[in-house]
A and B are shown apart, each in its own frame.
Chain A
């Protein structure tokens, strides 16, 4: 080995050990000092938030007929609040989720109108 020609074997072994230690701990250090997380993991977290809300709003369509006018109005508001977040998604997801959201919002608005007409 190149090192062994010029330095005693014990010193060479120590250098190798230190280099290995630095190499292994470096990534942890970078993480610990708080360098920004990758944009992919940030996107994942963001996705989770809107998708949970999206699933929650959409899961109530089967019960639409049982809701009061206030509850339906609130569900429509929640659908509308999701719109700008879905608009930011990539082309495929935007197309798919906008379609699903439109169906869901459309139903709540339809039932709300039906309830209002019943009163007349």
Chain B
């Protein structure tokens, strides 16, 4: 093979290699029980532990978003809270409830992290530090989801309707952590006009969002603009996790479920 042929062959091989990376590969859609799952590995691997697997569906069935993301203080991006085992031991973040004392649904919530080690401790650690391990969970998604109204995407569940029907009762307050204040005044729903012609308007349920999130979860961190319409965002922005996408690409029903936002009849 002469030098020119070799260079040509090398170029073709490089271009062939680049082509898929330019067009991207299709992202695997998570299964219903995987949707909302967060893998946390700020310090676990360094401590020779498996990364933490956090299942949103278990927690959101018991608490509103506000309790964890405002009152307890978890960041809205995976890993951004920088939780340490010391934080948990001192009763913050996961340790707020996972302290071996708090009772939820008649069950004592297991302790998240502790310096004292006993023979059974590795199994307890593995209840959270379970990424890549075969750990049987106490909670079975299929059993849990059976009585709940179904939806097409995300967890495959209609969480809003589940609450309306009283099938789940997410707590709005965590004793000793949530501030004692008045309950939030009902906020009016409003219409958002999409830029694409023919696309149905969005009826934004401010009421539902404030009941679950409070005010400070969205304002001003996610929606900075004060006047309606001043925060400009496109579907591309949303799909990249901005604005509505902060939750509706990760935990709340996903963007593929167009008709759940674009609801106003044309």
Contact = CB atoms under 8 A, between A and B. Distances in A.
Given A92-B84, A96-B73, A110-B219, A58 B179 contact: yes
A73 to B, nearest CB: 16
B22 interface: no
Given A61-B181, A61-B216, A114 B87 contact: no
A117 B229 CA distance: 13
A100 B224 CA distance: 18
Contacts of B179: 55, 58-59, 61
Query: Looking at chain A, what size class is its interface with the partner chain?
Result: 20 to 34
Contact of B73 (A99, A110, A113): A99
Given A55-B180, A113-B226, A114-B226, A106 B220 contact: yes
A95 B87 contact: yes
A103 B215 CA distance: 10
Interface stretch (A5-13, A25-33, A37-45, A63-71): A63-71
A63 to B, nearest CB: 6
A99 B73 CA distance: 6
Contacts, number: 72
Given A61-B179, A66-B185, A107 B220 contact: yes
Contacts of A91: 86
Interface of chain A: mostly helix, strand, loop or mixed:
helix
A110 B182 contact: no
Interface string A83-99: 00000000111011001
Query: Looking at chain B, what size class is its interface with the partner chain?
Result: 20 to 34
B227 to A, nearest CB: 6
B180 A96 contact: no
B227 A110 contact: no
B82 interface: yes
Given A96-B87, A110-B220, A60 B181 contact: yes
Contacts of A63: 181-182, 185
A41 B92 CA distance: 21
A82 B63 CA distance: 28
A61 B92 CA distance: 21
B144 to A, nearest CB: 30
B221 A106 contact: yes
CB-CB nearest 3 A-B residue pairs: A59-B181, A59-B179, A107-B216
